Every structure is written in structure tokens, then in C-alpha cells.
Amino acid sequence: MLGSIILPIGEIFNAFTGGDAPRVVNDILFSLRVPKAITALLAGAALSVCGLQMQTLFKNPLADPYILGISSGAGLGVAIFLMGFSAFGITIPSTLFSNIGIAASAWIGAFSVTLLILLVSSRLKDNISLLIFGIMLGSVIGAIISLLQYFSASNDLKIFVMWTMGSFSVLSPVKIWIMFILILIGFALSIYNIKDLNALLMGEAYAKSLGVNMERTRRRILIATTLLAGSVTAFCGPIGFIGIAVPHIGRLIFRNADHRVLLPATAFLGATIMIFADTIAQLPGHSGVIPINTVSALIGVPVILFIILKSRFI
């Protein structure tokens, strides 16, 4: 219903049921709003489930889907694609700067970082060392991106900055299907991880005593993270705060730490909150659109502050 044009509920019902609805209503719904809503649902669920696994793996309530540098890797891929050529004075036709190229370069960057982390994880003894490595890797990648930004052309820099703000409005049906398949595989792997995630609630040593192979578990969680967060970042840009905040909202509402309950609940809450955030971003009744990262920050930051204050004073 809501957007730059507010549609009557009766015309929306007719459009979905095959009734008599104006052509403009059908165009707005099925060309713009329905694909955007599906993308938001997938992104919210994927980032929330990913954040839940990261918080359990690292025993850190502020861990998010991008804590190991996956978002930084995706950003580096996009930065090289958009700004790498202009940094060396090479002019590339604008037709190459397509959404497919941006998504592909982001996915390659995220996947490359994951491969590097997987290789290093076999040599690291504990999750804290892996966490520190991921944070340092993200810092190095951030420095490289800043260097590319400094030497890039203004038009390329503008495109990159717009990508970092996040958007659900650039996906075609083919891209939505690709994103759906990748996220579905990530969800399946996350469900497979539930037993080990529950064991990790009592600590890494306890999980090992139950026969959990920590190296294999970390690898599965990292692969699930790449499929979930990497796919969202590749197609929608880096979307912050949802992955940190929603798992805590799920714990507060359901009062349950069992991942058999918490994982599907987090996915549902994440999808719902992301749809709500996207609705706000549309500025109903106005032609302007707020970057989705701005709205997600307004929703997520109060939750994060509450968690910090609760752990500090209670």
C-alpha cells in the first residue's frame, strides 16, 4: 500500500486475485513493490540468522554477520570494479558498471575473504584468535578501499558510496532467484548447525567434551555466513545493525536460547523488521527514499545500547 503513491487496498486485492485493477497498479505492484518486498524479506531473515550464529560461535553479544570481514571483502570487490581502473587513469565504458558486475564483484570479494579465513582457521587454536584475525583483515581491506577512494574519479566514487548505503530496488527476477537459492542453501546449512550451536552455548570446552569437532563446525558456520551475508551484501549492499539487534530481540521475546526455537524465530523477526524498515525508507506519500542503512541503524542502535547497558548494570 505504502510508497510514493499510496494504493487503495481494494485495488491491491484485485491485482493479486486477478480482478479488475488499473494497469498502473499492476505495474507498481509486480514490477516494483513485490520484488522489493521479497528482497527485503530474504535479506532480513538471512542477516538475522547469520548474526545469531556469529554471536553463539564467538560468545560475543555484539558480533554481527560482517565481523570476520565478509562485508569488507565484498566492499573491496566492488571498489576494485568501480574505482580500480580510474585510480590508474584507465577509462572504462559506463555499460560495464552494471548491477550484475557490482553483484558479481561483491560476491567474489566476500567469497575470497571467506576462503582466506577458512585456510587460516585450521591453524588457529580458538575462536578468539579467529575473531582477531577477521577484525585485522577487515581493517587492512578498509585501508585499501580508502586508498582506492582517494585516487578514484568522482562519478565512480559516488556509485560506490550509493552501494554502501544499501538498496532493495535494483534486483530483477533472475537476481532474486539467484539470491533466493544461495540463501536457501545457507539456511539449510544453518539448520544443520543447530545441534553444534546449542553445544557451544556452554562454551567451546564443553562442546568439545560432547564430541563437537570445532574445526568442522567453524568451517560450516563460516560457509553459511558467506552464503547468507555474502549474498545479501552482493545484491543489496552492506546492511548494518539488523544482524546484531534481531537475535537479541528474539531472545527477549521468546525467552529461549535453544537454537531449535531461536533460529526460525530470528529469521521470522528479521524478515518482519526489514520489511518494516523498508516501508519507513520509502517515505509513504513522498517521492524521496531514505537509504535502508539509515533506517536499520535507527532500529538497531537502541537495541544494541540496551544490551550494553543491561550487561553493565544488571
- Mind listing the pLDDT tens digit for each residue in 282-304? 877 677 788 898 899 888 888 88
- Domain CATH number, residue 99: 1.10.3470.10
pLDDT classification of 95: cutoffs 50, 70, 90: very low
Cα–Cα distance, 129 to 147 (Å, whole number): 27
> Would you say residue 35 lies in a domain?
yes
Give Cα separations from 105 to 65, 101, 175 (angstroms): 19, 6, 14
Cα–Cα distance, 248 to 238 (Å, whole number): 20
- Contact status, residue 311 vs residue 248, Cβ threshold 8 Å: no
**Closest to 63 in 3D by CA, of 303, 245, 297:** 245
Cα–Cα distance, 135 to 72 (Å, whole number): 10
> Would you say residue 249 lies in a domain?
yes
Least confident of 9-23, 119-133, 169-183, 235-249: 119-133
Give per-residue pLDDT as tens, 59-91. Answer: 888 888 888 888 889 889 888 888 876 655 655
Q: What are phi and psi of 27, to 5 degrees?
A: -65, -45
- The number of folded domains in the chain is 1
Cα–Cα distance, 292 to 280 (Å, whole number): 9
> Would you say residue 2 lies in a domain?
no
Residue, of 228 and 99, whose pLDDT is higher: 228
**Closest to 244 in 3D by CA, of 52, 41, 43:** 52
Whole-prediction pTM value? Answer: 0.89
> Would you say residue 34 lies in a domain?
yes
> Would you say residue 91 lies in a domain?
yes
pLDDT higher than threshold 50 for residue 168: yes
> Would you say residue 40 lies in a domain?
yes
- Contact status, residue 21 vs residue 11, Cβ threshold 8 Å: yes
Name the grid cell of 36. 522489493
pLDDT higher than threshold 80 for residue 280: yes
pLDDT classification of 194: cutoffs 50, 70, 90: very high
Give 87: exposed, middle or buried? Use CB within 10 Å, 0-12, 13-18, 19+.
Answer: middle
Cα–Cα distance, 171 to 98 (Å, whole number): 12
Range of the domain at 266: 9-313
Q: What angle do CA 77, 127, 205 make, to 5 degrees?
A: 155
> Would you say residue 223 lies in a domain?
yes
Cα–Cα distance, 283 to 96 (Å, whole number): 32
> Would you say residue 136 lies in a domain?
yes
